[in-house]
Amino acid sequence: MAKKTFWAAFVVVGAALLLVGYGLHADEFTDQDEERWQGEFMSVVTEGRALWGSPALGTNGVACGQCHPNAANTHPETYPKFQQQLGGVVAFRDMINWCLMNPLEGKKLALDDKQMIALEAYATYERRGVALDPGKH
């Protein structure tokens, strides 16, 4: 019995310590952490910018940036939104895929493909500071 109590107390204290420890740890990010996270993000933005200007995503040499300099007129802040021609409410990634398949005459990317995330990161970054406006046309 005493042994059981001991183990129960051990588990409870242990769990509490873990929770407290975890909580404390989450608060303890530093400027260096933020710098690293921003660096990681910007490296993907940079990769996205390179892809945006690259003919490699399609088959006809056309690149996203030919029609969308600085990713302008892509309006990532308006997604998800209803796209009549795509048959419903779609995400920004679905529209990127439409462009890859049509003007670029290429294949669509998986929605979680690293290249897709990079393209989305770049276009969204170029639109930073603009208020979210989902559904807007």
Partner 1 sequence: MTKTNLNRRDFLKGAASVAAVSAIPLSTVELAFADPAKNFTFAYISDSHIQHIKGSRFVNNWDRGLIRAVAETNLLQPKPDFVMFGGDLAQLGTKPELDHGAEMLAKLNYKTYYLLGEHDYYLDLGEYWSELFGPHWYSFDHKGVHFVVLNSILTFDEWTFDRWPTAEQRMLEMAGLDNPNGSPFMVGEKQRAWLAKDLSGVAKGTPVVVFSHSPIQKIYKGWNFWTEDAEQVQALLKPFDDVTVIYGHVHQIQYNQIGNISFHAVMATAWPWPYPRAYAQAESHMPKITVPMNRADPFFERDATGWQFINLKTGRVDMEYNLKNNTNRTVAYNPNTGRPEDTRYQAEDDRITPQIHY
Indicate which single residue of 44, 46, 47, 68 sits in contact with partner 1 (rule: CB under 8 A). Answer: 68
Indicate which single residue of 17, 130, 134, 135 sits in contact with partner 1 (rule: CB under 8 A). Answer: 130
Return d(Cα 20, Cα 65) in angstroms, integer. 49
Return the amino acid letter for 28: E
Return d(Cα 47, Cα 50) in angstroms, integer. 5
CB 87 within 8 A of CB 133: no
Q: Which is nearer to partner 1, 21 or 69 (CB)?
A: 69
Beta strand pairing call for 88-90 and 81-83: antiparallel
Span interacting with partner 1, options 7-15, 27-35, 111-119, 121-129, rule CB under 8 A? 121-129
Q: Which is nearer to partner 1, 44 or 75 (CB)?
A: 75
**Cis status, amide bond into 80, omega within 30 of 0:** yes
Give me the least distance between CB of 45 and partner 1, in Å please.
13
Span interacting with partner 1, options 16-24, 29-37, 69-77, 112-120, rule CB under 8 A? 69-77
Q: Which is nearer to partner 1, 23 or 61 (CB)?
A: 61
